[in-house]
Structure 1
Amino acid sequence: MADDDGREQLTDLVEANDLTGMRLWLAEHQPYEIADELARMDSHLAIIPFRLLDRDRELEVFEELDPVHQQEILGGLRDSAFRELLEEMDPDDRARLIGEVPAKIATRALAGLSPAERRMTAALLGYPEDSVGRSMTPETVILHRDLTVGRALEVLRAKGAEAETVYSLPVVDDGRRLAGMVGLGDLVVSDPGTLIKDVVDVLVPRASAVEPAEKAARLMQEANLVALPVVDSEERFVGLLTFDDALELIEEADSEDFARQSGASPVAGHYVAVGVLKLARSRAVWLLLLIVASTLTINVTQGFEGSLEKVTALALFMPMLIGTGGNVGSQSATAIVRALAVGEVRMRDLPGVAWKESRVGFLLGMMLALVAMTIASLLVGVAVAAAVALSVIAICTWAAIIGSTMPLLARKVGVDPAVVSAPMVSTLVDATGLLIYFSIAGVVLGI
């Protein structure tokens, strides 16, 4: 079988036990491509081609995998291979893996490390979960501000091979407090006798080791940095967040937000390899909550049974009104969740956001009311059509306000804004939208 590019898939080679074909396939593909194929397989199959990789490629592929798949691979390795692989990993990647595996595997992993690697890993694991301290690398070349450029380049040549990155270098003072950052390019083009303190960028952004990793990654993205210095509570340099780790953090955060916005819990692992039961379980809880919440709509409808008996035509437009309101609310919620994620809005912007979205909702309501008025006039007459049109305007305005304020209020009380986005907003707007509809209809039609 061939994939989208006409190439035979690794899975087919594994199932056919074609070792020669597997070796050729592995030699022709990049580590990230191999990792993607391994993530698609069951763990007992993925370990077969993984063992065929040479030592250097094995580590590259392993570090491209998500922790859930790394754990599966480790489970199929002998103790010696297990220890060697973990020993060679970058400290931040190793800490991330150990922080997510069961305690039994974590203990086994730490016990097999050399003292130096164990100390680095334990130090990273000492920071709060999801903090930037867990994701930073301590393997850096640190320059003192009083060094000359020539001496700094000598230090870089001597220690650079052990660092995760040498393109952006931290500069410290006598107390190891961060004085700024200097780029490799600046060192190369500067006179060897120039002091580092004369070329250092003292205004570079920095992150506290205990602040959320996603926040630090977004800061890197906003400031266009290749590395972000991380400091402790006394401004002492402790590590760097590199751009590759920042990209992974942003991707992981966005994936979680997408899942929650659709009314599901995030699922770790490659979609193709995730089982049906696991996918159903990730969605079931939210659907149960939403179906319970939707009983509000039933209660509202029951409360206005008298109005429906007098003017049965009102029932014709209920699905259209609550659907429209839900859509408008979902659009507003999605826009604000995204704006929160990239730092475009903050809690203090709540009044301005609500005012802007109310006007957006009103304009959308006016436009949609013209369509609704025309359709309703042809079907049930002008009186009911007027009630429907006014209801569309009011519901759209209300939905936009609800959709835009709920994520901000959720952030204020410490709840992920994505949790209260599209499905939750839509369910709330359904119930309140019917209240608005029947109230307006009662005034217009005198019922």
Structure 2
Amino acid sequence: MNTQQIIDAIDLTDTVEELVEAKNFTGIVEAVTPLSTEQVTALLERLPIEQRAIVYRLLPKDNAIEVFERFSPALQRDLIQGLRDGEVATIFSDLDPDDRVWLLDELPAALAPRLLHGLSTKDRQLTSEVLGYPKGSVGRRMTPEYVSTRTDATVGEALQRVHAQLDDAETVYTLPVLDGSRHLIGVVSLRDLLRSASEVGISEIMQDVSAMTAYETAEAAARRCAELGFLALPIVDREDRLVGMLTIDDAARILEHEETEDAARQGGVEPLRRPYLATPVRSLVSSRIVWLLVLAIGATLTVQVLSVFEATLEQVTVLALFMPLMIGTGGNTGNQAATTVTRALALGDVRPKDVWKVLLRELGVGMSLGALLGLLGGVVTTVIYDPSVGLIIGLTLLAVCTMAATIGGIMPMIARALRADPAVFSNPFISTFVDAAGLIVYFMIAQAVLHL
């Protein structure tokens, strides 16, 4: 599916909206039927909630389930609110257990028991197993529907199990190898099974495996799955017994969700969890207003600093001209460091215990940047004004860059150590703190140089 095909589907939005308004259901079917699943998903994401439910009802059942699975959990919740109970029960029963849990995490608590009650005994048991793990853990995102084999089995016996469970299993490309107590011993790929003779023992072709416990974070497991290039990552309990598999498509979905969340919070907003045009205006407002209030309160620190050094400004008014430079340079330097370290934490390049290494590196980076900017700023200011002002600007840029880079580098690591989201402690808070601290440094250097 290329970008142009998605654009073509989106271009139908106005046409479909007009057909819905006119209650021309035949026209809607004719417009939507030629579209692929990806195109239908892109189209529905742009429709208002009420119209989305109407168009969704007109989709063929198989296509409807595929489209529903492509929606974000928040969009799935919105759609369910516009469907009848019978339609909701059908959709819910057709989902995989891990996808049901994604949805249940979004739905009102009172609705979850009703949906679970409508499942078959087997489906309810599988879903309850996944629901039993803590929120945010990989146990809540794994699938319990997989095909396993035994160490004492043959290739032929393993392939028979694959054929027998082909319709029920969510993944068959990687088979975990278990002992008699369901402890994970290794894995064997479907490719290796197909190219081996049926009488060959599984123990002869299986490979060692890297597994994660069900209680570790979903993000950590998803990154491990992606880094190792696994089609499915085995998930075990605390006794190394296999309890599920994290598939690569679910890993990609988790990483997309986490990176979207981090990017939003680094920009001072809460993640939308829906496509932009499918997000109500009130949700856009609520995602931004809290951060704006927090930052506005933080900005009062800057006002307080200016009031303390008001007399200094009155004596040397030229200092006011360079305040935006100091504030901007410090904020940008801190944000650069915070963004770099937050990303390194997410990728596993650094860990909270590396805080001193990061501090020393960012201290060196900040001093180097400050020296270069300070030299340039000091020379230019000396030429335009006088040497004393140039010295103030040069020394302040050196100090502010060093301080901002160091603080920006260690704050995300402190946040991770406190089990908080590093993105929350990144750009917005660092900018506010560095603005106030930078001005204090600026005026203190000015007072020292000018003997005020």
Shorter chain as denominator, the TM-score bin is: over 0.9
Matched AA of 2:268: G
CA drift of 1:141 comes to 0.8
From 391, 394, 412, the counterpart of 1:389: 394
CA distance in 2, matches of 1:20, 1:333: 54
Query: Is residue 2:288 matched to residue 1:283?
Result: yes
Give the conservation status (yes or no) of the 8 Å contact 1:10–1:22: no
Aligned residue-pair number? 445
SS across alignment from 1:350 = helix
SS across alignment from 1:418 = coil
From 416, 439, 450, the counterpart of 1:434: 439
From 31, 41, 45, the counterpart of 1:39: 45
CA distance in 2, matches of 1:311, 1:58: 70
CA distance in 2, matches of 1:277, 1:371: 47
Instruction: Find the counterpart in structure 2 of residue 59 from structure 1.
Output: 65
Deviations 1:264-300 (A, max 9, x none): 1222222112122221111111111111112221222
From 443, 447, 450, the counterpart of 1:445: 450
Give runs of aligned pairs for residues 16-415 of structure 1, distance below 5 A: 16-17=19-20, 18-202=24-208, 204-415=209-420
CA distance in 2, matches of 1:11, 1:179: 56
Deviations 1:184-241 (A, max 9, x none): 0011111221111121112x11111111111100111111111000111111111100
RMSD of aligned C-alpha atoms? 1.7
CA drift of 1:371 comes to 3.1
Give the conservation status (yes or no) of the 8 Å contact 1:360–1:397: yes
Give the conservation status (yes or no) of the 8 Å contact 1:40–1:272: yes
SS across alignment from 2:185 = strand
Alpha-carbon distance change, 363 to 124 in structure 1, aligned in 2, over 3 angstroms: same
Deviations 1:40-74 (A, max 9, x none): 22221011221121111111111111122212222
Deviations 1:288-344 (A, max 9, x none): 111111222122222222322222211211111111111000000011111111111
Alpha-carbon distance change, 70 to 4 in structure 1, aligned in 2, over 3 angstroms: closer
Instruction: Find the counterpart in structure 1 of residue 15 from structure 2.
Output: 12
CA distance in 2, matches of 1:83, 1:5: 32
Give the conservation status (yes or no) of the 8 Å contact 2:266–2:423: yes
SS across alignment from 1:100 = coil
Matched AA of 2:372: M
Alpha-carbon distance change, 4 to 229 in structure 1, aligned in 2, over 3 angstroms: closer
Q: Which runs of 5+ in 1 are unaligned?
A: none
Give the conservation status (yes or no) of the 8 Å contact 2:192–2:205: yes
SS across alignment from 1:230 = strand
CA drift of 1:429 comes to 0.6
CA drift of 1:36 comes to 2.4
CA drift of 1:75 comes to 2.5
Matched AA of 1:22: I
Give the conservation status (yes or no) of the 8 Å contact 1:329–1:426: yes
Give the conservation status (yes or no) of the 8 Å contact 1:294–1:427: yes
SS across alignment from 1:28 = coil
Deviations 1:127-157 (A, max 9, x none): 1111111111111111111100111111111
CA distance in 2, matches of 1:53, 1:400: 54
CA distance in 2, matches of 1:347, 1:158: 47
Which deviates further from its counterpart, 401-410 or 265-274?
A: 265-274
Give the conservation status (yes or no) of the 8 Å contact 1:14–1:22: no
Matched AA of 2:60: D
Q: Which runs of 5+ in 2 are unaligned?
A: none
Alpha-carbon distance change, 348 to 3 in structure 1, aligned in 2, over 3 angstroms: closer
CA distance in 1, matches of 2:120, 2:362: 57
TM-score relative to the length of structure 2: 0.95
CA distance in 1, matches of 2:31, 2:72: 22
Identical aligned residues as a percent: 43
CA distance in 1, matches of 2:82, 2:421: 36
Give the conservation status (yes or no) of the 8 Å contact 2:9–2:42: no
CA distance in 1, matches of 2:145, 2:69: 16
Give the conservation status (yes or no) of the 8 Å contact 1:333–1:404: yes
Alpha-carbon distance change, 403 to 180 in structure 1, aligned in 2, over 3 angstroms: same
Matched AA of 1:16: L
TM-score relative to the length of structure 1: 0.96
CA drift of 1:8 comes to 4.3
Give the conservation status (yes or no) of the 8 Å contact 2:13–2:46: no
Give the conservation status (yes or no) of the 8 Å contact 1:3–1:9: no
SS across alignment from 1:103 = coil
SS across alignment from 1:301 = helix
